[in-house]
């Protein structure tokens, strides 16, 4: 059975492990993210050399990752952007390398071994301080002409409070939730965390209850639009809020209301939560490697 060395490059840590061609994760560990590309390449090479049976290297990375191995866009690790990291790793290790965007890796893991297994047309929507995700059409990741497929957070919606257009991230990410709750409570910005807003709403705090109601409505609006843009079989929700047991139920309640308000739409999104969390990018990177490698 073939085994692959998998790496998930994050702003603070690099997770790594051995993933089999059947999707079993072994020997996972992590190390601090280096301050330079040269040290990053060296650290990855050292890990790979400890596993001489690896059939290849699969890397999950932030940014707009091209098939050629160049990472465009911006991220917390500026040194990743510009050099051809795929070629550098291949030269250092002598192994084939595949690099993919971290959000796309998370979506691929769900299709391979997670909630979306055996589905062909799926969207993943990852809700954090911003909103990102993945488009999977016919079982394959759709990156788009500018490598921005799945950047759902840039979608524009009308904000009834201001009368202005704002991005979905500005209206429905966890930072939007905390900002609105802070304004309702009349307290300083950056006082509350998303987790605190949920906890206070559970305890009946009126401002936080109102903020959550608004949060779920804007999530439902965006998901309704995505359903009619892509017409997926399934939309998976990820990020820290996906651990909330009531998440899907509350969004579905808002979708019910939207479909009563605008009865022209008769197809409602089918929602679920992502199965994988901390190891999704390692598994998904290997699955994308397998999908893209030449036939033996």
Q: Work out the pLDDT band at 74, boundaries 50, 70, 90.
A: confident
Contact in structure between 40 and 25 (CB atoms under 8 Å): no
Q: From CA 86, how far away is CA 3, in angstroms rounded?
A: 19
How far, CA to CA in Å, does 230 sit from each of 123, 135, 193, 234?
A: 8, 8, 32, 10
Element at 29 (helix H, strand E): strand 25-32
Higher pLDDT, 97 or 144: 97
Same domain, 100 and 203: no
Residue 294 has pLDDT above 80, yes or no: no
- Distance separating the N- and C-terminal Cα atoms of the chain: 14
CATH code for position 260: 3.30.420.40
In sequence order, the 6+-apart residues with CB closer than 8 A to the CB of 52 are: none
Same-domain check for residues 262 and 136: yes
Question: Are 101 and 181 members of one domain?
Answer: no
185 and 244 belong to one structural domain: yes
Angle at 174 between CA 168 and CA 175, to 5 degrees: 85
Give the model's pLDDT for residue 243: 84
Residue 118 has pLDDT above 70, yes or no: yes
In this structure, the answer to whether residues 57 and 151 fall within a common structural domain is no
> What is the domain extent for residue 282?
3-108+277-292
Q: Give the pLDDT confidence of 221-259 residue by residue, as tens digits.
A: 999 999 999 999 999 998 888 889 999 999 999 999 999
Query: Does residue 28 sit in the same domain as residue 146?
Result: no
Of 141-150, 197-206, 247-256, the least confident: 141-150
257 and 129 housed in the same domain: yes
Residue 62, pLDDT > 70, answer yes
Give the integer Cα–Cα distance in Å for 16 and 221: 37
Whether residue 295 has pLDDT greater than 70: no
């Amino acid at each position: 059975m073939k085994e692959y060395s998998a790496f998930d490059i994050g702003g603070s840590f690099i997770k790594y492990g051995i993933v089999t061609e059947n999707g079993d994760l072994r020997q996972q560990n992590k190390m601090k993210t280096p301050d330079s590309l040269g040290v990053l390449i060296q650290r990855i090479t050292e890990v790979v050399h400890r596993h001489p049976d690896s059939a290849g290297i699969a890397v999950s990375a932030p940014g707009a990752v091209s098939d050629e191995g160049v990472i465009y866009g911006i991220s917390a690790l500026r040194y990743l952007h510009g050099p051809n990291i795929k070629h550098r790793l291949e030269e250092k290790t002598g192994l084939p390398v595949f690099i993919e965007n971290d959000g796309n890796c998370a979506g691929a893991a769900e299709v391979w071994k997670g909630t979306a297994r055996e589905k062909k047309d799926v969207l993943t929507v990852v809700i954090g301080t911003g909103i990102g995700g993945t488009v999977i059409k016919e079982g394959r990741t759709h990156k788009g002409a500018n490598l921005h497929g799945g950047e759902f957070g840039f979608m524009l919606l009308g904000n009834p409070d201001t009368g202005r257009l704002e991005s979905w991230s500005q209206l429905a990410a966890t930072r939007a939730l905390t900002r609105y709750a802070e304004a309702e409570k009349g307290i300083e910005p950056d006082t509350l965390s998303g987790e605190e807003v949920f906890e206070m709403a559970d305890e009946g705090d009126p401002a936080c209850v109102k903020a959550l109601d608004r949060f779920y409505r804007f999530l439902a609006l965006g998901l309704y639009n995505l359903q009619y843009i892509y017409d997926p079989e399934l939309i998976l929700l990820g990020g820290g809020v996906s651990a909330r047991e009531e998440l899907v139920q509350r969004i579905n309640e808002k979708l019910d209301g939207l479909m009563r308000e605008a009865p022209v739409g008769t197809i409602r999104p089918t929602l679920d939560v992502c199965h994988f969390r901390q190891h999704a990018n390692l598994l998904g990177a290997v699955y994308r490697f397998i999908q893209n490698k030449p036939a033996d």
